[in-house]
C-alpha cells in the first residue's frame, strides 16, 4: 500500500479489500504487500504468529481453510489503527463447510499491518 493513501477517506476500505483479495486468492507470495516483516498475528487457538515468514507458513500449512471468501461489512480506522468485521464462507481442507463471523483489529505502521488480532463470534465463557 502506498503510505500516502493513509488518511484519505477510502484507505481503510481499499486496504481491507487488498488484504482479503490476497488471502482469499491464496496469493501467499503477496502477503508482504500488507504485512510488515515483523508483524504479530494473534488468532484464537494458535500461539502468536510472529514475522512474515511464519504468517506465510501458517497460511500455507496450518490454517484449516482450503478456500473461501471474506465479506467485510464495516471498516473503521484511526491514524494507526483499523478494525473490520464481517463473515467468512468456505471449505476446510477436509471438505467441511465453514460459515463464520469475524472481527479483525489491526495496528498500521508505515502503511503495513504490524499487528493483527482476529476474533470469532462464538460462545467461549
Domain count, the chain: 1
Cα gap 89→36, rounded to integer Å: 27
Cα gap 102→112, rounded to integer Å: 21
pLDDT per position as a tens digit, 94-115: 999 999 999 999 999 999 999 9
Distances (CA, A) of 108 to 15, 40, 65, 67, 69: 11, 12, 25, 26, 23
125 occurs within a structural domain: no
66 occurs within a structural domain: yes
Instruction: Say how many C-beta atoms besides its own lie within 10 A of residue 74's C-beta.
Output: 12
Q: Which domain holds residue 67?
A: 3-120
95 occurs within a structural domain: yes
pLDDT per position as a tens digit, 35-81: 999 999 999 999 999 999 999 999 999 999 999 999 999 999 988 99
Q: Domain holding 51: CATH number? A: 3.10.450.50
Q: What is the pTM of this model?
A: 0.89
81 occurs within a structural domain: yes
91 occurs within a structural domain: yes
Amino acid at each position: 500500500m502506498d503510505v500516502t493513501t493513509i488518511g484519505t477517506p477510502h484507505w481503510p476500505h481499499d486496504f481491507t479489500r487488498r488484504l482479503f483479495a490476497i488471502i482469499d486468492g491464496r496469493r501467499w507470495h503477496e502477503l508482504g504487500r500488507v504485512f510488515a516483516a515483523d508483524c504479530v498475528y494473534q488468532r484464537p487457538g494458535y500461539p502468536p504468529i510472529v514475522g512474515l515468514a511464519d504468517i506465510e507458513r501458517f497460511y500455507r500449512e496450518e490454517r484449516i481453510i482450503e478456500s473461501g471468501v471474506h465479506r467485510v461489512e464495516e471498516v473503521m480506522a484511526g491514524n494507526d489503527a483499523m478494525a473490520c468485521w464481517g463473515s467468512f464462507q468456505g471449505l476446510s481442507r477436509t471438505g467441511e463447510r465453514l460459515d463464520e463471523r469475524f472481527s479483525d483489529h489491526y495496528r498500521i505502521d508505515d502503511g503495513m499491518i504490524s499487528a493483527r488480532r482476529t476474533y470469532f463470534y462464538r460462545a467461549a465463557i
